[in-house]
Structure 1
């Protein structure tokens, strides 16, 4: 299962080795300064936008990879059923959104929110 965590000044999505094979990447790093907001979405399918650009999906089981839509590209690592941690990023960045199924989505979202707030106030060094 993928993990969403904060490491130094980055939000990091780490994929399991099986997920990494499908997505063709082991991890994604996004600067905390690029975070616009973070939330938990209880309905996993609401996090999906557009069509798959690279990766795989099996209806009702999982969605993994990148999804292209009018607003940009989303990184998706979602397993069904269950809540999903969603991190919205500022426009014009590499990804528009990170959607990740984690063991503790509430904890991951809270960590991202606190770290982004801390970084935006200039207290992070």
Structure 2
């Protein structure tokens, strides 16, 4: 099972050899300075967002790899029925979210707490993850609204 570790000034997602094969990449390494929020999500499926790009997506079994969306890409290593440690990253990082399943709630809470202690600038304004940006709702074919007359 994948693990999140702090090594020096970096957050490293260490993958097992099977997860490396499934994701078609090695361990993920991002600077701790890029971490902006750490949360624990009890429902694994809530950590999935966007469309699958590269990896293995077996519904009900495991989700490993990269998912793309309007804000960029997420890297996930998820197993159903397990809590997920979600690490939101600043736009300068290669991913916007790292989501890794933990064996149980206590290990997920311990992993999240160690990341919060190690990261220099955590946004603690809310315990929830931030929503993804939504594309402009006025797509092509929508007429422009006339400007209001000021009389």
List per-residue Cα deviations over 1:23-51 (Å, max 9, x = no partner).
12220111000001101000000001111
Alignment partner, residue 113 of structure 1: 116
Q: Aligned ranges for residues 33-72 of structure 1 at < 5 Å? A: 33-72=33-72
Counterpart Cα distance in 1 of 2:14 and 2:93: 19
Q: Aligned ranges for residues 23-38 of structure 1 at < 5 Å? A: 23-38=23-38
Number of aligned positions between the proteins: 118
Cα-Cα RMSD:
1.0
Alignment partner, residue 9 of structure 1: 9
| TM-score normalised by L of structure 2 | 0.75
Alignment partner, residue 21 of structure 1: 21
Q: Give the secondary structure class of the aligned counterpart of 1:33.
A: helix
| TM-score normalised by L of structure 1 | 0.90
Q: Give the secondary structure class of the aligned counterpart of 1:112.
A: helix
- Check the 8 A contact 1:61/1:81 in 2, yes or no: no
Moved segments of 4+, more than 6 Å: none
Counterpart Cα distance in 2 of 1:81 and 1:58: 14
List per-residue Cα deviations over 1:63-122 (Å, max 9, x = no partner).
100000111100000011110000000124210000001232111111111001xx34xx
Segments of 5+ residues of structure 2 without an aligned counterpart are: 122-151
- Structure holding more strand per residue: 1
- Structure holding more helix per residue: 1
Segments of 5+ residues of structure 1 without an aligned counterpart are: 121-125
- Check the 8 A contact 1:88/1:96 in 2, yes or no: yes
Counterpart Cα distance in 2 of 1:29 and 1:91: 15
Q: Which has the higher contact order (CA 8 A, sep 6+)?
A: 1
- Check the 8 A contact 1:74/1:96 in 2, yes or no: yes
- Check the 8 A contact 2:82/2:102 in 1, yes or no: no
- Check the 8 A contact 1:3/1:13 in 2, yes or no: yes
